[in-house]
Amino acid sequence: MSDLTTLLTRAQEISSDAERVTQAHLRKVSLPGGPVLGLITLDNGEDHTKPNTFGPRSLLALNEAIDAALADDEIAALGVTGKPFILAAGADLTSISGGGPDAVRVVAELGHAVFRKLQDGHKPSFGFVNGLALGGGLEVALHCTYRTVMDSAPALGLPEVMLGLVPGWGGAFLVPNLVGADKAVTVILENPLNNGKTLSGKAAFELGLADAVFSGADFLEQSLLWADSVLAGETVVERRGVDRGEAWDAAVARGRALVEAKTGGASPAARTAVELIDAARDGDRDAGFAREDDALEAMSKTPELIASLYAFDLVQKRAKRPAGAPDRSLARPVTKVGIVGAGLMASQLALLFVRRLEVPVVLTDLDQERVDKGVGYVHAEIDKLLAKGRINVDLANRHKALVTGAIDKAEHFADADFVIEAVFEEMSVKKSVFADVEKVVSPECVLATNTSSLSITEMAADLEHPARVVGFHFFNPVAVMPLLEIVKGDNTDDATLATAFATGKALKKTTILVKDSPSFIVNRLLGRFMGEVGRIVDEGTPVPVVDGAFAGVAPMPPFMLLSLVGPAIALHNNETLHRAFPDRFYVSPALERVVAARKASYYGPDGAIDPEVEALLEKPASPVVLEPAEIRTRVLTGLADEARRMIDEGVVVAAEDLDLAMITGAGFSFWNGGLTMLLEREGLGSFH
């Protein structure tokens, strides 16, 4: 490891103007018991939508603040916290991505050198985790002697493996030595590989990552009082020892099995993370940190990291400035929303609209019973948020008052600015709905459809004002999935599009412009994917063999994905695509039989293929059984063909939008770069 002076010099040399510098503000806080605590607050000067991050200059600023606190004889202890709702979101990847392995090595060693002063400074240190703490944001707290966490903190974790990296500022060593190897596997591997799952503040405390948990706006005050009691010896923090024998072996074995199941061994970062956890049992901190430095430098040379940085740039930049979107000044205000339908999807939409837009939302349906059920669902979900402490009583009451239901559209939609339908996926039904709505709304009211596959142009064709119809395709579950495909029909005008994009942004969704075409982006690509694997099964390859071929490609095995989506929905999508492109989209007779038998999944409760489904998968007289590598190549070749056609047809502005859609709408991995970079790496085309 380089000495600190050299690291500080090198950090100055590799620092970039692209870095949004997080300052470390030191102030003295006199605790009730008498001691003075040096409180360091991390703040990049932006609001909560732009979290604190650590690049070279930010680490230098933190180093100066820690040194100042350690050198001040009046200060008895240190505390580290963040600006409101944010501790830090880890490394500033964009500021170091251009520096290559050397820059990565410098930043890795510098992070260790700065953070470890919180352990080695001969003064007790406290990490006050007041909000989001990811990657280096959590690691800076882990270096502290003690930690408190806000129970409602929304996201704590070490997501590096999802990004083609490993926890590199102490996390891979400190977490297993703090809470044991099995919990470390959960935090470092299982959660990141489960679409970047994170922990709430309460869950982090229960896992043992924090010593105390507090709630409310006075979190910091409660944390300071707790720190005072610790310094006075009134509160003694006791931590369980960790089992470094058989339990550690079992955890590492679980980690290796998890990596194989989720990535097929295709992620160097995931494999390396398991080895770091395994090696951490030696308890040698310096050796552990050195292993992390070596691992980060090695990861910086992999194509997976290049793909991850590409994907990270998509979700951080392109997602915030949708390509092809009209000028925002054309957008009209949305002061009231109408929803046609009151089923589960419609009710989910109502909940999202009222929480994000905070405007009146009216659900309509054919009878009062359905309307009441839909409104009741929304009110119940708001009550759940209240019970969890995520909203207060006043906000809960306000939101519930804004959501109402009715049968009569004429009376309740007349002053709506935005009406979205969420009814049965049948063209004639949707056309009828819009014909009825158009009679009662203003000419400027946007008519949005949540269709997953049908033509926006055809849906609007018979209307007096077809220019105000737009596709507004959410993904299920609505509250969780980030993607919103905004589909432009042949007649959709710019004011309607601009309003759709502005509304999508207000809903905090990742919006992508899509040309009106069958099944749009995600469902078209998944349709080709599922059609190809369905054909392979129909030809004779067993379902488990097919499912096992896609570890590291798809977020879950294809027939498990089909079970999650629902066989009937998948069949409808493939039938729609087959009608449009019969030469490329296959409709599986076996899937038709599964749907006819009303089977909800190919798998039974025990994780094996449902015997009744197995009986429906008729084997051909001369079955063709493919090897996993053959299955993978054949299906990816089909996806490469479809992706190229979609780009050439102008379904999206560029390949980047295909990848952004597959990452945010289908859970494809960062370390594959979504889809097209994986296809390029497999030698199946050039898309950029």
Angle of helix 522-539 relative to helix 655-666, nearest 10 degrees, comes to 70
Segment 440-464 mean pLDDT: 95
- CATH number of the domain at 545, please: 1.10.1040.50
* Residue 96 pLDDT: 63
- Residue 126 domain-assigned? yes
CATH code at 119?
3.90.226.10
275 and 137 both lie in a single domain: yes
Task: Calculate mean pLDDT across residues 482-489.
Answer: 97
Q: Which residues contact 594 (CB under 8 A, 6 or more apart)?
A: 567, 602, 613, 616
Examine the domain organization and report whether 389 and 246 are in the same domain: no
Residue 423's closest CA among 454, 378, 401, 397? Answer: 454
Q: Which of 274-278, 312-316, 529-533, 629-633 has the lowest mean pLDDT?
A: 312-316
Same domain, 42 and 78: yes
Q: Any idea what the Cα angle at residue 140 is, between residues 139 and 146, rounded to 5°?
A: 100
| Cα–Cα dist 147/100, whole Å | 34
**Cα–Cα dist 343/364, whole Å:** 10
Structural contact between residues 336 and 678, judged by C-beta atoms closer than 8 angstroms: no
Number of Cβ within 10 Å of residue 539's Cβ equals 14
Residue 659 lies in a domain: no
Distance separating alpha carbons of residues 311 and 671, to the nearest angstrom: 8
CA dist., res. 271 & res. 258, Å (int): 10
C-beta atoms surrounding 478 within 10 Å? 22
* Domain harbouring 378, CATH code: 3.40.50.720
Residues 439-467: what's their mean pLDDT? 95
- Together in a domain, 457 and 333: yes
Same domain? For 81 and 160 the reply is: yes
Point out the domain boundary residue: 266, 285, 301.
301
Q: Average pLDDT, stretch 317-326?
A: 92
Cα-based distances in Å from 241 to 26, 126, 206, 253, 287 = 34, 21, 16, 21, 20
Shared domain check, 441 and 578: no
Q: What is the pLDDT of residue 489?
A: 96
Sheet holding 36-43, edge to edge: 23-30, 36-43, 75-82, 125-129, 146-150, 212-214
262 located within any domain? yes
pLDDT of residue 374 exceeding 90, the answer is yes
Residues 460 and 567 in one domain: no
Question: 28-46: per-residue pLDDT in tens?
Answer: 999 999 999 999 999 999 9
pLDDT (tens digit per residue) in 566-606: 999 999 999 999 999 999 999 999 999 999 999 999 999 88
Contacts of 303 (CB under 8 A, 6+ apart): 681
What value does the CA radius of gyration of the chain take, rounded to a whole number of Å? 27
Last residue of a domain, one of 488, 515, 542: 515
User: What's the pLDDT tens digit per position in 551-564?
Assistant: 888 888 999 988 88
Q: Is the dihedral of CA 339, 344, 347, 351 positive or negative?
A: negative
Note whether 388 and 530 are same-domain residues. Answer: no
pTM: 0.87
Question: Are residue 424 and residue 536 in the same domain, yes or no?
Answer: no
Tell me, yes or no, whether 311 lies in a domain: no
Q: At what angle do helices 268-279 and 285-299 cross, to 10 degrees?
A: 170
pLDDT band at 20 (very low <50, low <70, confident <90, very high): confident
- Look up residue 338 and give its two tokens: 């109408």
Residue 676 is predicted with a pLDDT of: 96
Question: In terms of domains, do 532 and 478 share one?
Answer: no
| Amino acid in the structure at residue 686 | S
Q: How many helices (H) and strands (E) does the chain have?
A: 31, 17
pLDDT in tens, 63-107: 999 999 999 999 999 999 999 999 999 888 766 666 678 888 888
Instruction: Report if residue 475 sits inside a domain.
Output: yes
Distance spanning both ends of the chain, measured CA to CA? 38
Host domain of residue 492: 328-515
* Residue 553 belongs to a domain: yes
Tokens 């979190």 sit on residue: 219
Percent of the chain with pLDDT over 90: 80
Examine residue 483 and state whether it is found in any structural domain, yes or no.
yes
- DSSP code of 236? -
Mean pLDDT of the chain, nearest integer: 93
- Model pLDDT, residue 101: 81
Convert the pLDDT of each residue in 181-217 to its tens digit: 999 999 999 999 987 899 999 999 999 999 999 987 8
Give pLDDT, residue 454.
93
Go through the chain and tell me how many residues it has: 688
CA nearest neighbour of 141 among 217, 195, 68, 90: 90
| Total domain count, the chain | 3
Which two tokens mark 436?
């009825």
Residue 1 has pLDDT above 80, yes or no: no
Q: Are residues 530 and 501 in the same domain?
A: no
Q: How far apart are CA 540 and CA 676, in angstroms?
A: 29
Whether 490 is covered by a domain: the verdict is: yes
Q: Is pLDDT larger for residue 309 or for residue 656?
A: 656
Report CA-CA distances (Å) from 450 to 179, 196, 441, 609, 664: 45, 26, 19, 33, 17
* 368-387 vs 344-357: helix crossing angle, rounded to 10: 50
Give the pLDDT confidence of 418-429 residue by residue, as tens digits.
999 999 999 999
The CB-side HSE value for 344 (13 A sphere, CA atoms) comes to: 5
Angle (nearest 5°) at CA 161 between 158 and 166: 75
Is 80 exceeded by the pLDDT of residue 58? yes
d(CA 219, CA 213): 9
pLDDT, position 469: 97
> Region 352-374: what's the mean pLDDT?
95
Whether residue 95 sits in one domain with residue 25: yes
DSSP assignment of 80-116 equals: EEESTEEEE-SB-HHHHGGGHHHHHHHHHHHHHHHHT
